[in-house]
């Protein structure tokens, strides 16, 4: 009788394994690419939260969010009105230049925008496309 040796894998078995690995890679790689952006955006949200907290303190003292310095496109640190400094907002990916008022704070509402394109932080290039906006209620607004 002729015995068949069972050493190794057949070509069909190897092709199936390659297909399964390819499908897993096609699903996992795009999901993994989102993770670093989310972690960088967390730093932006921290800075926005700091600015929002300072705005709430300003409101508590003055009864309004309005101030001559809080104009469209003005930096959050402008004139030192809020007591937030450039070093308070300097992080790994974002710097104070990222945090601006987006729209004049009238009718006791405002938005603050963090745009990574304006960053001069040490790793600014990695956050270039990240933009986050927050309003007076702490709601993250869609970009």
- What residue spans define the domains of the chain? 40-141
Region label for 16, one of left (φ > 0), alpha (ψ between -120 and 50) or beta (otherwise): alpha
- At 49 the pLDDT is 94
Please state the rounded mean pLDDT for residues 81-103: 92
Determine how many CB atoms are found less than 10 A away from the CB of residue 104: 17
Residue 120: band (very low, low, confident or very high) from pLDDT cuts 50, 70, 90: very high
Instruction: Give 33-63 pLDDT, tens digit per residue.
Output: 788 888 899 999 999 999 999 999 999 999 8
Residue 141 pLDDT exceeds 60: yes
């Amino acid at each position: 009788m002729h015995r068949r040796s069972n050493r190794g894998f057949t070509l069909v078995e190897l092709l199936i394994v390659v297909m399964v690995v390819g499908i897993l890679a096609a699903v996992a790689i795009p999901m993994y690419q989102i993770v670093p952006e989310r972690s960088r955006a967390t730093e932006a949200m921290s800075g926005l939260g700091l600015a929002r907290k300072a705005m709430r303190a300003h409101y508590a003292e003055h009864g309004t969010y309005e101030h001559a310095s809080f104009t469209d496109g003005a930096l959050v640190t402008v004139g030192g009105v809020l007591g937030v400094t450039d070093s308070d907002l300097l992080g790994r990916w974002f710097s104070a230049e990222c945090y601006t008022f987006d729209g004049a704070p009238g009718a006791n509402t405002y938005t603050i925008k963090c745009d990574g394109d304006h960053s001069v932080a040490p790793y600014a290039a990695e956050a270039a496309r990240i933009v986050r906006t927050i309003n007076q209620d702490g709601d993250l607004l869609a970009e």
